[in-house]
Amino acid sequence: MPDIKEVTLANGMRLITIKKDSQIMALNLGFRVGAMKDPPGKKGLSHFLEHMLFTGTKNRSHDVINEDFEFLGGDVNAFTDLTQLVITASALSGEIDRAVELISDLVINSQFSQTEMEREGHVILSEYKEGLEDLETVAYDLLYAKGWPQDPLRFDVIGDEATIQAITLQDLEAHRERYLTPANAVLTMASNWSHEAMIALAKKYFNEWEGEAPTSPPFKHLTNKPGQWETVTDSSEMATVTVLYHFPDLDPALEPALKVLNRRLGDSDNSLLFQEIRLKRGLSYDIYSSLDLTPQVRMLEIYCATEAENILEVLDVIQEIIRDVSSGKLALREKDLELSHKMHRTHSAALLDDTQALSGYILANALDRLPLLYYEKELTDMSRLEVSDLRQAAQVIFKKPTISMVIPSEDEE
């Protein structure tokens, strides 16, 4: 059991310290802001803000920030997803004071300039254009555009060329002031220092930081548009089929069964989709399913890349497997439950051994307002599952899919 202590600083920042016998320390500072909080017409704002945090502070230039982080001798990163913006650092435990000071400087003393904004804008546009050359990215972008025509960038983090170019310096500063506040932040610190020493260190650099928690209107789900679409493209010689099932009103009690169902369906090298489409028929190298139970998302997706002449056969196989799992014709097994429980225990044990992964895992749970050691609840829930629960989950979610096929154009003679 990890040695964890949690406190809230006077300014409202939630601090979680993890005392771990390791030479490595890990820091994760996260905020409850992501692409879902981007205003209309400004998709990509939160991601742009993440980039801007590394461009300069009252104390450091862009170059000095890079040099100082490099001198930690470890790893520094940042990412933005649909609901979170996170800054991470890991290095030898002796670097923890320097790392905390550096991260605090980024968020407390950040200074944005028009010059740096324009430079980062070009970087982000390059990132966006690289995505246009990625078969999988294009397939998912088209899937979401078909599923949510009224909001085609709904599940996009970067945005598109128009929204990126629409973002102004004032937008970035306002977004920072609203969301990058101590009352909207969680800091996890994992090291071989005592809890008291880590808490004192956090207070040293963050105690004077001020800012209230942002208020946001309640999140509203938009139901996906069911149907089947084909898009012809000349950007690839391969075809893709993507299938999306959206279940915003899912009963939380079904989540454990749905996780097992997804693993059996397409999230392993012995899954039903992998066995039938790749191993038996040789129709594809890349076939999988993925599950996102984030409250603002709640989707199961299936992706497959194949030759154009195989696209309809692949779709038929996917739909047949979905029908057979839902009807019970394709029986799920007690062995699936046992294996999933074993795999989860293995993952949990590996997590506890990895300082960086544990700190990040606890941060993610804290930002999602879940128990910090959520895997304990998952193990308990999984131990109570029966095969009938998997079939029930299938019958609930496998309805009204959005299906998108991307097909290469034929060469003109």
Position 411 confidence tier, pLDDT thresholds 50, 70, 90:
low
- Residues whose CB is less than 8 angstroms from the CB of residue 300 and which lie 6 or more positions away in sequence, other chains included: 244, 245, 247, 258, 262, 289, 290, 291, 292, 397
pLDDT band at 413 (very low <50, low <70, confident <90, very high): very low
Which residues of the chain does CATH 3.30.830.10 include? 3-207, 227-408
Closest by CA position to 325, among listed 257, 378, 279, 227: 257
Residues 60, 182: contact at Cβ < 8 Å? no
Instruction: State pLDDT tens for residues 103-157.
Output: 999 999 999 999 999 999 999 999 999 988 899 999 999 999 999 999 999 999 9
Contact 250, 389 (CB under 8 A): no
Residue 56 per-residue DSSP state? B
- pLDDT of res. 215: 86
| Residue 217 banded pLDDT, cuts 50, 70, 90 | confident
Amino acid residing at 321: I
Q: Which two tokens stand for residue 402?
A: 């959005």
pLDDT at 98 over 50: yes
State residue 14 phi and psi, 5-degree precision: -85, 125
What are 294-338's pLDDT values in tens digits? 988 999 999 999 999 999 999 999 999 999 999 888 878 888 888
**Per-residue pLDDT, 220:** 82
**pLDDT value of position 308:** 93
The pTM of this model reads 0.93
Cβ distance 69 to 61 under 8 Å? no
Contact 250, 258 (CB under 8 A): yes
What are the percentages of helix, strand and coil residues in the chain, rounded to 5?
A: 45, 20, 35
User: Does the structural domain 3-207 have CATH classification 3.30.830.10?
Assistant: yes
Average pLDDT over residues 4-24: 97
pLDDT digits (tens, 9 = 90+) for 330-383: 878 888 888 888 888 999 999 999 999 999 999 999 999 999 999 999 989 988
Across 129-183, the runs of DSSP E, i.e. the strands, are none
Cα–Cα distances in angstroms (integers) from residue 6 to residues 19, 187, 195, in the given order: 11, 10, 9
Are the CB atoms for 405 and 302 separated by under 8 Å? no
For CA atoms 64, 65, 70, 73, give the dihedral sign: positive
Under a CB-based contact definition with an 8 Å cutoff, are residues 98 and 31 in contact? no
What's the one-letter identity of residue 161? E
- Has domain 227-408 been given CATH number 3.30.830.10? yes
Name the pairing type of β-strands 75-80 and 85-92.
antiparallel
